[in-house]
Amino acid sequence: MKSNSFAITVLVAVTCTLAPAALAASEIYSIDSVHSYVLFKINHLNIGNSHGRFDDPRGSFTWDDANPANSRFELEVQAVKVDTDNEKRDKHLRGPDFFSADQHAVISFKSTALKPVKPDTFEISGILTMLGQTHPLTVTAVHTGHGKDPWGNYRRGFETTFTIKRSQWGMDFMLSGLSDDVEITVSVEGVRQ
């Protein structure tokens, strides 16, 4: 009986010692919207490419350097903040033919799994919600760097480029003039909390 008590005491002590270390392995970062970008490219009339972005991306991510599979990402942009450097076009994009920003204000991505594929490269699976529809999405992201900034904050960055079919989310206006495929680049820099 004594040996069982001793074993339980040791197990509890070891668990209590390891638990804070496990918690400390995960770091929470808030996305720095000034140094983060959501860019897109779409083909126009099978002739040229049109480019745009969503200003002021928001979100956070949890990073576990010891076990990246435990990491999570959440990102959102406001549909009304689409910006192609042309006010008339942007107004059209915010309307019912495209983003329906009045009815579907937020476009969001939330990860569900992360898998390392090679050093500093990760496959991130999750769900993308746009126009009130949610579909699975898997992207390959590169860990672009980490370290202290001049003001004493600790930062970490990731970037991915992937392609979606906009019609999958119900955006099927003018498919004959604007490609269904949209190339998206997301580059985020997070500040550790």
pLDDT reading at 58 higher than 50: yes
Instruction: Kindly indicate the confidence band of residue 24, based on its pLDDT and cuts at 50, 70 and 90.
Output: low
Give the fold, CATH level 3, of 26-192. Lipocalin (2.40.128)
d(CA 47, CA 20): 57
Rg of the chain, C-alpha, whole Å: 21
Instruction: Kindly indicate the confidence band of residue 20, based on its pLDDT and cuts at 50, 70 and 90.
Output: very low
Say how many Å lie between the first and final Cα of the chain, rounded. 46
d(CA 62, CA 154): 13
Helix-strand-coil percent breakdown of the chain, rounded to 5?
Answer: 25, 55, 25
pTM: 0.86
- Write the pLDDT tens digit of every residue in 113-172: 999 999 999 999 999 999 999 999 999 999 999 999 999 999 999 999 999 999 999 999
